[in-house]
Amino acid sequence: MNYETLKIEITNNAAFIVLNRPDRLNAFDMKLGIELSNALHSIAKNMDVKVVVIKGTGKGFCGGGDVKEMHTAENKPQFLRNLTQAIHRCVIEMRTMEKPVIAAVNGAAFGAGLSLALACDIIIAVKDAKMSTAFIGIGLAPGCGTQFFTRLVGYQRACEYILTSKTFIAEDAYRLGIINQVVPVDQLDAAVEEYVNMFRILPPIAVGKAKMLINKSLENDMITHLDLESKTAAWSAETDDFKEGVAAFVEKRKPQFKGT
């Protein structure tokens, strides 16, 4: 499928999605929101894909919502409702797909762009990447990201950064527990590829179910979640990958997982 706002490459069990509006710092307009949601939905159903990477073209990861489009929209409330819902569909696709999603934050991540990164499962950012929740700075209530941000940093820190639109750098984000790794700009691709290669050989069904359990743990009570873990483990014991994994362990060799 051809996209106007994205570049997509699927190779060797990995899907690479590049946001491609460099003249607008890869900011979300309606087309980008719709195309990204559609692309994620398609990739989620692609059984050959074991891992997904999201990156931006040019100097930034994603500048958030396209403020110029907000300014020119005749019905601003309806435009913001439609735009945030399109972004939410992307977030839902990312969190519900049973594949790891890696954000390669190659530059600025503001507003909805930071929210997009926070919806990923692993975040690697270059040292000079700047981040901000940004919404308050243009007089807008946050349209996404407050739940993810607050769960990661806690209430007072969330208030500090969200209520003031405070800008911070990748090192700050690492200290706050928002991102996994900070790297020099020339090492970003290598750092991402290291994770991609791990997921290429790990058992994709078990990884997907583990991601599901992590997300469910954020909403389930303890008793419900323990039961879900038990049921999921029992279900996964039916897979060929589990049989291969335990056989390899007993035979003291590396397992060869096939995703079945």
Between CA 67 and CA 28 the distance in angstroms is 9
CA angle 26, 32, 34 (to 5 degrees): 160
pLDDT of residue 131: 97
Q: How many angstroms separate the Cα of 84 from the Cα of each of 44, 107, 114, 133, 197?
A: 21, 22, 14, 14, 33
What does each of the 260 residues of the chain score in pLDDT, given as a tens digit? 789 999 999 999 999 999 999 999 999 999 999 999 999 999 999 999 999 999 999 999 999 999 999 999 999 999 999 999 999 999 999 999 999 999 999 999 999 999 999 999 999 999 999 999 999 999 999 999 999 999 999 999 999 999 999 999 999 999 999 999 999 999 999 999 999 999 999 999 999 999 999 999 999 999 999 999 999 999 999 999 999 999 999 999 999 999 99
Domains of the chain: 6-200 (3.90.226.10), 203-251 (1.10.12)
Q: Is 81 helix (H, G, I), strand (E, B) or coil?
A: helix
Give this prediction's pTM.
0.95
pLDDT of residue 1: 75
Crossing angle for the helix pair 155-162 and 146-153, nearest 10 degrees? Answer: 130
- Whether residue 104 contacts residue 160, with contact meaning beta carbons closer than 8 Å, is answered with no
pLDDT of residue 2: 87
